[in-house]
Amino acid sequence: MKNDVRISIHDLGLMDYRKAWERQTELHNQLINNKLADTPNLEQHFILCEHPVVYTLGRSGSMDHLLLSQKELSQKGYTFYKINRGGDITHHGPGQIVGYPILDLSYFRQDVGWYVRSIEEVIIRTLADFDIQAVRIEKYTGVWIEGSPMRKIAAIGVHMSRWVTLHGFALNINNDIHLFDHIIPCGIQDPNKSITSLAAELGKEIAIEDVKKRIIHHFEAVFDVQTIEKAPYINTKQ
């Protein structure tokens, strides 16, 4: 195990993107402040949740990749945020598992490439439990299913400050993949690449809780840590 580090699992359920972002930031800042105070970061965090329909644009993204106007977003009841993760534009919605590991990589490996590949590995192993063989693609982050077209099933976008991680991944399970039609996902304009979900690949819906359990299991193995489940988070901010 990594220096007795324990990972607290925070299952937030269906939560507004901004509220989840605030919770991420709160935990992220705690780890950074501990680090600056030379206090061991033996409790670190892994948030799992779903979001109402939202589009987010990373630091390197282009507004041209959002195909809806602000008026159209408002009419449809969708939200949009520019955020500080890497990558371009993506979509989150109900039926999609979003994972936010908040880790001090000083206890693991201070290597962004290793970290992203490790998250990909967690997802690849999880999908294998559902008889889906997923792969990586050179030059593209995320997790894909081979074929024609190549189908992206999970997106990854991260941010780091003092080697403490923020943001994470989105794994499509039962979500409406047609909501990706309102963007150019991850800025990838290639007719041989599309978006898919676990339900679309298997032809049936999958219990979200079953997938979460497998994600946590493989997260423990890949990152060589133990996890503990935290009590449900209550947002006291108005």
Residues marked active site are found at: 186
Under a CB-based contact definition with an 8 Å cutoff, are residues 54 and 18 in contact? no
Question: What angle (nearest 5°) sits at the alpha carbon of residue 178, between those of residues 172 and 179?
Answer: 80
Contact between 224 and 5 under an 8 Å Cβ cutoff? The reply is no
132, 185 contact by CB (below 8 A): no
* CA 187 from centre of chain: 17
Tell me if 85 sits within 8 A of 10, measured CB to CB.
Answer: no
Round to whole Å and give the CA distance between 162 and 129.
Answer: 35
The CA radius of gyration of the chain, in Å to the nearest whole number, is 17
